[in-house]
Amino acid sequence: MKISTTLPVFFTLAGFCVAAQAVVPVNVAVYATEKSYGSMSVGGKNSYTKTFDIVVANLSGKDIDLSKLCLKAYSPDHKEFTVDTVDEVLTEGTLKDGKSVKSFAVFASENDAIFKAALIKISDNCK
């Protein structure tokens, strides 16, 4: 009898935990075009970079706060890369419904895996 009351509670709580994970904002489009590859070497540390021209378009029906969102790059094998350098146009202020902003973002990695990154997404999980 305890199992029949425990299972629905477990699944309800599990649903809340899943809902708390990062959510891709609905109807916010990200158009990215590969611009360049690069590298940096400072002392004994090396870094590889990939730059994209990016347009973020708000198709959501409401204004969005760009400061609560961030861009992430993904390779076909699902590796995730956080942004290294981004123009503040893409990360600050309010983007009105139906409007878009265009600029650039640079993603970096300690190895050349960043060169495989091809998909840019916007997320509210910016840790």
What pLDDT is stored for residue 24 in this prediction? 59
pLDDT tens column, 63-120: 999 999 999 999 999 999 999 999 999 999 999 999 999 999 999 999 999 999 999 9
Is the CB of residue 60 less than 8 Å from the CB of residue 29? no
What residue type is 67 in one-letter code? S
Predicted model pTM: 0.77
d(CA 75, CA 78): 5
Domain residue ranges of the chain, discontinuous segments joined by +: 23-123
Task: Tell me the CB-side half-sphere exposure of residue 107, using CA atoms within 13 A.
Answer: 28
CATH class held by domain 23-123: mainly beta
